[in-house]
């Protein structure tokens, strides 16, 4: 970890003052953002990204992986209380009690969103309030207090601007933003934690799949299940993701990109891939599994549905069978990390079905281009989804 920063029990080194941050980030200046005199980082010059001292990175070969940056954001509260203003702190290790609820009972959630550098030098976020709303829904399910949507968005903005030199140049990638909400207080018996921590860190990233915008190959899992009715499959709790690692590792060892899961009752209806939603195209209809508690309500999923409607497609959220999948004209996945990822083949019960013969499908390409052009500011935002930071 960079700088070896440790905050013991989340109380360690004092938070940097605005003056210290101003010295540490030569390209930034401070201004009051509201009547409460909340300090936030603003870039001194918006004329060109050349005014920034960008991080020394091979942007052309950027992968999807952790790259330690400069600052993270920390906010804490006790059970039964509300979160108050947090602070930026140097990125580094944190210290937890061995009895922290997040370590013992998995009381934790995370979110994922991205910041983009536009060609005019401005920085934008894509629908951050949706992540704040989803975090609060998940927190209710996991018996945790959560920041308000306004606190969430403000914290994301501050963290992004504090790490601006790590945002890739236009077209080279994005700054992945990882908010965490966890039971950091110590417990022994099974119970909600007495204390909670909200944390945000960031990392510059490239494509999630090594194939980039190229067809991926999926295998349908018939024995293991990602989620069950009444469980936590519909919220972004940390435990959902560890459960897919065994099947995913086995699939990748066989040369597949990822795993597609079926429902745990009938074992014939599509649910989702390990970390993204699935779509099936047949003629002019685009179908995706309905949200019924076992599927994560992806923000990219939701956005693609709206974009597809605006492009004249018939859109259906319903139960989708394996047979429909195998007979589809085209299949693709969506998610914050993958954006839109076309599927080149599906393997089910040792039967392999391929889609298309000329690479990326027409619908996948159309929706990918429409969404990324909007996210990167290349087309007008008629949806009101983009939040400009500068």
Distances (CA, A) of 120 to 10, 79, 386: 39, 44, 15
What is this structure's pTM?
0.85
Answer yes or no: do 90 and 236 share one domain.
Answer: no
pLDDT at 50: 44
Residue 39 pLDDT exceeds 70: no
Tell me if 388 is assigned to some domain.
no
Answer yes or no: do 83 and 187 share one domain.
Answer: yes
Answer yes or no: do 192 and 262 share one domain.
Answer: no
Select which of 23, 118, 236, 268 is catalytic. Answer: 236
Distance CA 201, CA 112 (A): 10
Tell me the CATH number at 305. 3.20.10.10
**Share of residues in the chain with pLDDT > 70 (%):** 85
Answer yes or no: do 69 and 127 share one domain.
Answer: yes
pLDDT at 51: 52
- Catalytic residue at 282? no
Mean per-residue pLDDT, 90-119: 96
- Phi and psi at 46, nearest 5°, equal -110, 10
pLDDT confidence band for 301 (50 / 70 / 90):
very high
Answer yes or no: do 232 and 161 share one domain.
Answer: no
Last residue of a domain, one of 151, 182, 205: 205
Distance CA 358, CA 365 (A): 12
Distance CA 182, CA 107 (A): 6
**Chain segment 320-336, per-residue pLDDT in tens:** 999 999 999 999 999 99
Answer yes or no: do 58 and 139 share one domain.
Answer: yes
Name residue, tokens 């790490």: 163
The DSSP bridge pattern shows strands 314-318 and 285-289 to be: parallel
Answer yes or no: do 200 and 234 share one domain.
Answer: no
Mean per-residue pLDDT, 234-248: 94
Cβ atoms 378, 234 nearer than 8 A: no
Tell me if 381 is assigned to some domain.
no
Alpha carbon of residue 327 to chain centroid? 31
Residue 46 pLDDT exceeds 50: no
Tell me if 380 is assigned to some domain.
no
* 69 CB-near residues (< 8 Å, 6+ apart): 2, 55, 91, 163, 166, 201, 202, 203, 204
Answer yes or no: do 280 and 141 share one domain.
Answer: no
Last residue of a domain, one of 205, 240, 258: 205
Answer yes or no: do 7 and 104 share one domain.
Answer: yes
Residue among 286, 203, 191, 175 at smallest CA distance from 1: 203
Tell me if 390 is assigned to some domain.
no
Answer yes or no: do 348 and 251 share one domain.
Answer: yes
End-to-end CA distance of the chain: 29
Tell me if 211 is assigned to some domain.
no
Residue 226 pLDDT exceeds 60: yes
Domain count, the chain: 2
Tell me the CATH number at 41. 3.30.470.10
Tokens of 248: 């995913």
Tell me if 384 is assigned to some domain.
no
11 versus 114: the higher-pLDDT residue is: 114
**Chain segment 343-374, per-residue pLDDT in tens:** 999 999 999 999 976 678 899 999 999 999 99
- Phi and psi at 379, nearest 5°, equal -130, 160
Half-sphere exposure of 177 (CA within 13 A, CB side): 27
pLDDT confidence band for 212 (50 / 70 / 90):
low
Buried b (16+ CB within 10 A) or exposed e, 17-26: eeeebeeebe
In three-state secondary structure terms, 23 is helix
Tell me if 262 is assigned to some domain.
yes
The DSSP bridge pattern shows strands 270-273 and 216-221 to be: unpaired
Answer yes or no: do 248 and 196 share one domain.
Answer: no
Last residue of a domain, one of 160, 177, 205: 205
Answer yes or no: do 238 and 168 share one domain.
Answer: no
Mean per-residue pLDDT, 241-245: 92
pLDDT confidence band for 390 (50 / 70 / 90):
confident
Residue among 197, 202, 208 at smallest CA distance from 112: 202
Tell me if 382 is assigned to some domain.
no
**Chain segment 261-289, per-residue pLDDT in tens:** 999 999 999 999 998 999 999 999 999 99
By residue range, what is the domain housing residue 160?
2-205
The conformation of residue 14, written as its DSSP 8-state character, comes to P
Tokens of 175: 């700054």
**How does DSSP assign 27-79, residue by residue?**
TEEEEE-STT--EEEEES--S-GGGS------GGG-BSS----SEEEEEEEET
């Amino acid at each position: 970890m960079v700088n070896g920063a440790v905050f013991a029990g989340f109380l360690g080194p004092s938070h940097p003052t605005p003056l210290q941050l101003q010295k540490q980030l030569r390209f930034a200046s401070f201004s009051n953002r509201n009547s409460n005199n909340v300090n936030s980082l603003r870039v001194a010059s918006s004329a060109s990204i050349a005014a920034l001292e960008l991080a020394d990175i091979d942007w052309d070969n950027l992968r999807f992986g952790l790259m330690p940056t400069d600052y993270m954001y920390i906010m804490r509260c006790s059970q039964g209380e509300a979160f108050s203003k947090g602070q930026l702190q140097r990125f580094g290790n944190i210290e937890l009690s061995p009895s922290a609820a997040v370590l013992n009972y998995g009381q934790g959630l995370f979110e994922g969103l991205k910041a983009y550098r536009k060609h005019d030098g401005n920085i934008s976020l894509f629908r951050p309030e949706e992540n704040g709303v989803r975090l609060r829904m998940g927190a209710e399910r996991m018996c945790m207090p959560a920041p308000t949507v306004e606190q969430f968005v403000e914290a994301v903005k501050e963290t992004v601007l504090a790490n601006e030199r790590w945002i890739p140049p236009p077209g080279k990638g994005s700054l992945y933003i990882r908010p965490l909400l966890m039971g950091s207080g110590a417990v022994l018996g099974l119970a909600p934690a007495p204390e909670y921590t909200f944390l945000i860190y960031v990392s510059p990233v490239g494509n999630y799949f090594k194939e980039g915008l190229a067809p991926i190959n999926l295998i349908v899992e018939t024995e293991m299940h990602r989620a069950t009715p009444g469980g936590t499959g519909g919220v972004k709790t940390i435990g959902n993701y560890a459960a897919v690692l065994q099947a995913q590792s086995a699939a990748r060892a066989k040369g597949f990109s990822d795993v597609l899961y079926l429902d745990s009752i009938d074992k014939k209806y599509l649910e989702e891939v390990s970390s993204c939603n699935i779509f099936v195209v047949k003629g002019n209809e685009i179908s995706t599994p309905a949200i019924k508690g076992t599927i994560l309500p992806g923000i990219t999923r939701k956005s693609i549905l709206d974009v597809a409607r605006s492009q004249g497609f018939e859109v259906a959220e319903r139960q989708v069978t394996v047979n429909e999948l195998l007979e589809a004209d085209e299949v693709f996945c969506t998610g914050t990390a993958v954006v839109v990822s076309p599927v080149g083949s599906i393997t089910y019960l040792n039967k392999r079905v391929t889609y298309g013969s000329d690479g990326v499908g027409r619908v996948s390409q159309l929706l990918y281009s429409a969404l990324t052009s909007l996210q990167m500011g290349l087309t007008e935002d008629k949806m009101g989804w983009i939040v400009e930071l500068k």
